[in-house]
């Protein structure tokens, strides 16, 4: 919490310092919409597709484990009921009682396996999302820095950023200072055409 407050304070201080300095020096200041850049970057869509595929694999196996667990539970209930059914002899009921105990152990083992799998894969998926998104953001930051150096900008701020109270850090900026479109164009210059994407998708197994 303290770290976020400090970061917000630093951003506001830098922006105000830049604005004041611009009055006495010819500083070049621009803004970008990081939310827009991230969402419309073509690699974000590719990454989301990969993540959805990974999540689908996790969910499919979890479903299979869940079905196995349900099957064992039903088998246990049948044996448990049979072990209490006076239609069967005492010897048969005892056999079914022992079988029910064994089936219950199998059921609990499968239940623990499912729970462990879901927890493990949830952690792995969360880590994977964070890692892949961090890589995308770094690519966007690199492009912004490159553009800033090329065009001679002194400061570039994120107008989509918000404080802890969800208040925009930058209340207003004119459109002429927004370079999001230029950055997005450069980010997407390596985007493959639809035909290439279709061929790539058809080759996935």
Residue-wise burial string across 76-113, b where 16 or more C-beta atoms lie within 10 A, e elsewhere: beebbebbeeeeeeeeebeebeebbeebbebbeebbee
pLDDT tens by residue, 94-121? 999 999 999 999 999 999 999 999 999 9
- Which residue do the tokens 């969910």 mark? 59
Q: For residue 61, is pLDDT > 90? A: yes
Angle of CA points 58, 63, 64, to nearest 5°: 100
Q: Are 72 and 106 in contact (CB under 8 A)?
A: yes
pLDDT at 168: 73
- In the chain, the domains with their CATH numbers are 25-193 (3.30.910.20)
Cα–Cα distance for residue pair 119/159, rounded to 1 Å? 37
This prediction's pTM: 0.70
Q: How far apart are the first and last CA of the chain?
A: 44
pLDDT at 170: 75
Cα–Cα distance for residue pair 163/184, rounded to 1 Å? 25
pLDDT at 46: 94
What is the average pLDDT score of the chain? Answer: 84
pLDDT at 21: 53
pLDDT tier at 176 (50, 70, 90 boundaries)? confident
Q: Are 32 and 182 in contact (CB under 8 A)?
A: no
């Amino acid at each position: 919490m303290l770290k976020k407050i400090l970061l917000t304070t630093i951003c506001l201080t830098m922006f105000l310092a830049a604005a004041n300095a611009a009055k006495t020096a010819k500083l070049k200041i621009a803004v970008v919409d990081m939310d827009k850049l991230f969402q419309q970057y073509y690699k974000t869509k590719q990454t989301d597709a990969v993540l959805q595929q990974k999540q689908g694999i996790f969910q499919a196996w979890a479903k299979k484990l869940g079905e196995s667990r349900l099957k064992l539970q039903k088998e246990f209930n049948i044996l448990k009921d049979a072990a209490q059914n006076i239609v069967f002899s005492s010897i048969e009921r005892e056999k079914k009682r022992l079988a029910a105990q064994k089936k219950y152990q199998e059921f609990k083992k499968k239940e623990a396996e499912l729970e462990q799998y879901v927890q493990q894969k949830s952690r792995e998926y969360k880590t994977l999302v964070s890692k892949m998104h961090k890589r995308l953001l770094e690519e966007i930051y690199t492009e912004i820095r490159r553009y800033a150096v090329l065009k001679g900008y002194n400061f570039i701020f994120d107008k989509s950023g918000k404080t802890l109270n969800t208040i925009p850090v930058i209340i207003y900026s004119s459109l002429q200072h927004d370079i999001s479109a230029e950055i997005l164009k450069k980010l997407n210059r390596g985007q493959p055409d639809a035909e290439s994407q279709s061929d790539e998708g058809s080759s996935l197994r």
